[in-house]
Structure 1
């Protein structure tokens, strides 16, 4: 399996969109158009590719010179709970540090906030509803001491 950064012109981008739709939007009854954001082209797209197929992705949208938002993390259901999500987040963080970013924020679905907490993210602010389900705001400073996440040693 390889992790690679792509853009919206890359041949794997349609597969990334489909994975995002199948994992994040279809279960909520949304249509395919709901998965693409107006800022997709200005975002970093990190995908996990196995046997030529996109099996995971995470995106990052810069919101200032030193911070931005992680969004649309999706892992193929057959690959969930294997450490792939943690691997994607850590690889994204490494790239962001190299680019000078200092903080990542995200809107985590409430039921997966624990996953991000194991990676060093902290809840802040009040819970809210997005795409009709409970979410929490989370953030992590990239200069903080790294804690091991699932599947890491």
Structure 2
């Protein structure tokens, strides 16, 4: 397996490249336009990327919802790098950052096909599935 470096975004160029990678994985397959991979919380969020040969191949975001509650979102690994443990390492680093931020609970919104991945990390489903972007999702939560 190639060397993967998981670390925070370091500059504006990397942030733009991360948005493109996020769009490729999460929005382009749904036929959504560029820009749909962003929201109004990007400037206050903590962004992690997975780098391989100077290319962003994975990304994820953590942000504060309240002093003790964080949310993880936009977990995206390029298809050719999936099922190699990269998403798990990305999540572990995001959860470590959540602990540093003194969050007691972390929540996320999972696509139904990713529920088992998050369950392996200790998350549990908190509500009934619902539709988001035409895909079934469920809220999940972890006490840390």
Confirm whether residue 96 of structure 1 aligns to residue 98 of structure 2: yes
Counterparts of 2:74 and 2:84, CA distance in 1 = 18
Deviation at 1:99, TM superposition (A): 1.9
- Number of residue equivalences: 141
Three-state SS of the structure 1 residue aligned to 2:40 is: coil
The equivalent of 1:56 in structure 2 is 58
Deviation at 1:5, TM superposition (A): 1.1
Confirm whether residue 5 of structure 1 aligns to residue 12 of structure 2: no
Q: CA RMSD in A?
A: 1.1
TM-score where L is the length of structure 1: 0.88
The equivalent of 1:19 in structure 2 is 21
Counterparts of 1:18 and 1:33, CA distance in 2 = 9
Q: Which runs of 5+ in 1 are unaligned?
A: 143-153
Three-state SS of the structure 1 residue aligned to 2:90 is: helix
Three-state SS of the structure 1 residue aligned to 2:60 is: strand
The equivalent of 1:76 in structure 2 is 78
The equivalent of 1:66 in structure 2 is 68
8 Å CA contact 2:62, 2:98 repeated in 1: no
Superposition misfits of 4+ residues, deviation over 4 angstroms:
none
Q: Which runs of 5+ in 2 are unaligned?
A: none
8 Å CA contact 2:70, 2:107 repeated in 1: yes
Counterparts of 1:6 and 1:67, CA distance in 2 = 22
Counterparts of 1:97 and 1:139, CA distance in 2 = 14
Instruction: Say which of 111, 115, 121 aligns to 1:119.
Output: 121
